A and B are shown apart, each in its own frame.
Chain A
Amino acid sequence: MEISAVLFYVFAGLAVISALAMVLNVRNTVAAAMSLVVTMVSIGGIFVLLDAYLVAALQIMVYGGAIVVLFLFVVMLLNLRTDDFPPVGLRLAKLGGGLLVVVVVSAIPRLLGGVFPEIPAAPTGYGGYRALGIALYTDYVLLVEMVSLLLLAAIVGALILAKRKID
C-alpha cells in the first residue's frame, strides 16, 4: 500500500475512535473535549492527504484549537462533576443512533466492493491559501462581506445580552 493510503486509514481510524470516545465520555466533559480535539486533528490530517493544506490548517487552528479551548474554558468555569448530570433517558435518540449505525455498517461491504473512479491530479496551487484567497475576494466577495456582517451582529448582540445581565 502507498504511504498516503496507510496514513489515510490511520487518520480515519483515529477520527472514528476518538469520536466514539467523545460520545462515550459524555459525563467526563474535559475528556470528551480532548477526544474531540483528536477527531479534529485527524480530520485535518485527512485534509492534508487531499492536498487541501489551507483547509487542514484552518481545521486544526479554528476547530481543534480555538473553539474547543473555549468549550474547555466554559466547562472549567462551570466545574461540572460526574454526578451533576441527570441519568441519560433519551430512548428515542438511542433508537435513532442504533438505526444509523445499522445503516452505516450495512453500507460498508457495498463501499468496499465498489470501484473507485480515477481521480485527476489536482492543478498546481490547488487548495493553497493563494487560490482560496483569490476565490474568496473576487468571486465570493459579497458572501464574505455578508458573513462578516452577520458575525459582527452576533458579537454586538452577545455583548448587549451580557451587559444587560450585569446592569
Chain B
Amino acid sequence: MTAVILGVVVGAFAPVITWIERKQSAVMQDRIGANRADIGGITILGLLHPLADVIKLLSKEDVVPTGANRVLHLIAPVIAAVPAIIAYGVIPFGSTYVFGGETISLVVANPDWGFLYIFVIGSIATYGTVIAGWASNNNWSLLGSLRASAQMISYEVTMGLSVVGCFLVYETLKLTDMATAQDTTFRVFGFVEVLFGGELPWWVSQFAVLPQWGIFLQPLGFLMFLTCIMAENKRPPFDLPESESELVAGYFTEYSGMRFGLFFMSEFIEVVVIAGLITTVFLGGWAVPFLSQEWIVDRVGNGFGAFAGFGDGFANGFCMLVHFATFLVKVVAVIWLQMALRWTLPRFRYDQVMDLCWKVMLPLSLVNIFVTAALVLLLGE
C-alpha cells in the first residue's frame, strides 16, 4: 500500500522537478523561463512543458549507432533508472502511528541495514553510466563513462566515510531510527558541563537549545555528504561525465528518444532521493522542530481532540499529516538548495574534482570520524 502511494508520488515528482529546474534557472538568470508549451493558449506557468517533453521523447526514433553493442546499448538506460527509483524504498516519510489496534509505518521497507542499502544501490547505479558510454561506439561517450566511473567510485568512498559520524551519534544504520532519534532537542552547550564540570547559567541551558538534527551534531559531515552525493549524481558542478562543452553530451551522446529520457529522468529522480536522504539523516526527517511526536499526539488527543470527542485515532492521523507535510517541506527545501547550487557554480576541472575528493574530503572525513568517536566516548550520549 505505502509502496503504491510512494510510487505515484515519486512518479509525479520527477516531471514537476524538470519544471522547477527550468523556472528556477530562469529566475536566477533573469529570464521569463519555460512558458511556451500550451493547450489552446493555456500555459499554466509552463507546467505543460514536462508533458510536451514526454510526447516529444516518446515519438522520436530510437537509434542504435552502427558498430555499437546492441544489447548493452539498449539496457544501459534501464540499469541507470532502476536503482534511482528503488532507492526510495528505505526512506521514511513519516513516523509510526497507532490507529486502534493497527500500527501504520510510513516507510516501504525498513531493514536494519537501511543505510547500507543506499550504498548498495549507489554502487549498482554506476553501471548504467559506464555501460552506456562503452556500448555507444563513440569516443566522446567512452571518455564520458571513463570519467563517470572514476568519479563515482572515488566519491562513493568519501560519501561512506562522511556519514560514519552520524552512525556513531545515532548508534544505528536504520533510517527510521535515525529520524526518530532527531525528534527531540539537545542543549548546545551541554557538553561544557560534562567536560569541565560546574553548571551553566540557567538562561544558557534554557534557551541555547536546538533540535537534535544531524546538521547541528555533524555540520562537517553534512557539508561533505552533500558534496559527495551531488558528485555521485553527476549534476553540475560535477557534470564532467557529460560536460557538453568538451564531450558533446558525454556518455549519453548516442541516445535519443525515451532512452535518453530515462537518463534524464533518473538524474531528476536522484535529486529527490538525495533530498529525502539528506532530510532523513541531517534535517530531522519528518520531525517538527521543538515539537515531538508525543507532544503533538498528547496535545491534540487530550486537548482539542478530547474536547471535540475524536480521541487518539484523530490525534495520530493529525500527527501523521503534520509529519508528512514537514517531510515534504524539508525535501523541497533541499531540492531547491541543489538547484541553486547547480545554477550558481561553474563546472570543476577534472583534476580539481579528484583532488577535492582524495586530498581534501577523504582526510577531513577521517578527522571527522575520529573527533566524533572521541566526543561520543567522552560525553557518553
Residues of A within 8 A of B (CB): 28, 30-31, 34, 37, 41, 44, 53-54, 57, 60-61, 64-66, 69-70, 72-73, 76-77, 79, 128-129
List, in ascending order, chain B residues with CB within 8 A of A44's CB: 120
**CA gap between A60 and B69 in the complex, in Å:** 25
Query: Across the interface, do B130 and A31 meet the contact criterion of CB distance under 8 Å?
Result: no
The yes or no answer to B78 lying at the interface (CB within 8 A) is no
Query: Across the interface, do A53 and B112 meet the contact criterion of CB distance under 8 Å?
Result: yes
Tell whether A129 pairs with B116 under 8 Å between CB atoms, given A66-B156, A72-B130, A76-B146: yes
Q: Mark B48-83, 1 if CB is under 8 A from A, else 0.
A: 000000000000000000000101100000000000
Query: Across the interface, do A54 and B146 meet the contact criterion of CB distance under 8 Å?
Result: no
**CA gap between A70 and B149 in the complex, in Å:** 8
Tell whether A76 pairs with B134 under 8 Å between CB atoms, given A57-B117, A69-B126: yes
Residues of B within 8 A of A (CB): 69, 71-72, 111-113, 116-117, 119-120, 122-124, 126-127, 130-131, 133-135, 142, 145-146, 149-150, 152-153, 156, 173
Query: Across the interface, do B120 and A65 meet the contact criterion of CB distance under 8 Å?
Result: yes
Q: Which residue of A lies closest to B116 (CB)?
A: A57
**CA gap between A72 and B135 in the complex, in Å:** 12
**CA gap between A72 and B153 in the complex, in Å:** 12
Query: Across the interface, do A30 and B113 meet the contact criterion of CB distance under 8 Å?
Result: no
**CA gap between A163 and B156 in the complex, in Å:** 25
A–B pairs, 25, beta carbons within 8 Å = A30-B69, A30-B72, A30-B134, A30-B135, A34-B72, A34-B131, A37-B127, A44-B120, A57-B117, A60-B120, A61-B119, A61-B120, A61-B123, A65-B122, A66-B123, A69-B123, A70-B153, A72-B134, A76-B130, A76-B134, A76-B145, A77-B146, A79-B142, A128-B113, A129-B116
Q: Distance (Å) between the CB of B47 and the closest chain A CB?
A: 38
**Extra inter-chain contacts (6) besides given A76-B134, A76-B146, CB under 8 Å:** A37-B127, A57-B117, A57-B120, A65-B123, A69-B152, A129-B173
Query: Across the interface, do B131 and A53 meet the contact criterion of CB distance under 8 Å?
Result: no
Query: Across the interface, do A41 and B124 meet the contact criterion of CB distance under 8 Å?
Result: yes
List, in ascending order, chain A residues with CB within 8 A of B122's CB: 65
Q: Which residue of A lies closest to B135 (CB)?
A: A30
**CA gap between A30 and B136 in the complex, in Å:** 13
Contact of A73 among B119, B146, B173 (CB under 8 A): B146
List, in ascending order, chain B residues with CB within 8 A of A41's CB: 124
**CA gap between A5 and B133 in the complex, in Å:** 38
Q: Distance (Å) between the CB of A56 and the closest chain B CB?
A: 8
Q: Distance (Å) between the CB of B366 and the closest chain A CB?
A: 13
Q: Across the A-B interface, give the 4 residue pairs with the lowest CB-CB distance, nearest first.
A: A65-B123, A57-B116, A60-B120, A53-B113
Q: Which residue of B lies closest to A128 (CB)?
A: B112
List, in ascending order, chain B residues with CB within 8 A of A37's CB: 124, 127
List, in ascending order, chain A residues with CB within 8 A of B131's CB: 30, 34
List, in ascending order, chain A residues with CB within 8 A of B113's CB: 53-54, 57, 128-129
Tell whether A69 pairs with B127 under 8 Å between CB atoms, given A30-B134, A31-B72, A34-B72: yes
List, in ascending order, chain A residues with CB within 8 A of B124's CB: 37, 41, 60, 64-65
List, in ascending order, chain B residues with CB within 8 A of A73's CB: 146, 149-150, 153
Q: Distance (Å) between the CB of A17 and the closest chain B CB?
A: 15
- Most A CB within 10 A of own CB, among B72, B120, B131, B135: B120
- Most B CB within 10 A of own CB, among A37, A65, A76, A129: A65
List, in ascending order, chain A residues with CB within 8 A of B150's CB: 73
Q: Which residue of A lies closest to B71 (CB)?
A: A31
Q: Distance (Å) between the CB of B342 and the closest chain A CB?
A: 25
**CA gap between A65 and B153 in the complex, in Å:** 9
Q: Which residue of A lies closest to B121 (CB)?
A: A60
**CA gap between A142 and B133 in the complex, in Å:** 44
List, in ascending order, chain A residues with CB within 8 A of B146's CB: 73, 76-77
Q: Distance (Å) between the CB of B114 and the closest chain A CB?
A: 10
Q: Distance (Å) between the CB of B162 and the closest chain A CB?
A: 16
Q: Which residue of A lies closest to B143 (CB)?
A: A76
Q: Distance (Å) between the CB of A135 and the closest chain B CB?
A: 16
List, in ascending order, chain B residues with CB within 8 A of A77's CB: 146
Query: Across the interface, do B153 and A69 meet the contact criterion of CB distance under 8 Å?
Result: yes
**CA gap between A60 and B117 in the complex, in Å:** 10
Query: Across the interface, do A69 and B116 meet the contact criterion of CB distance under 8 Å?
Result: no
Tell whether A65 pairs with B134 under 8 Å between CB atoms, given A30-B72, A129-B113: no
**CA gap between A22 and B126 in the complex, in Å:** 19
List, in ascending order, chain A residues with CB within 8 A of B116's CB: 53-54, 57, 61, 129
List, in ascending order, chain A residues with CB within 8 A of B152's CB: 69
Q: Distance (Å) between the CB of B148 and the closest chain A CB?
A: 10
Contact of A31 among B69, B117, B145 (CB under 8 A): B69
Q: Distance (Å) between the CB of A131 and the closest chain B CB?
A: 11
**CA gap between A48 and B165 in the complex, in Å:** 26
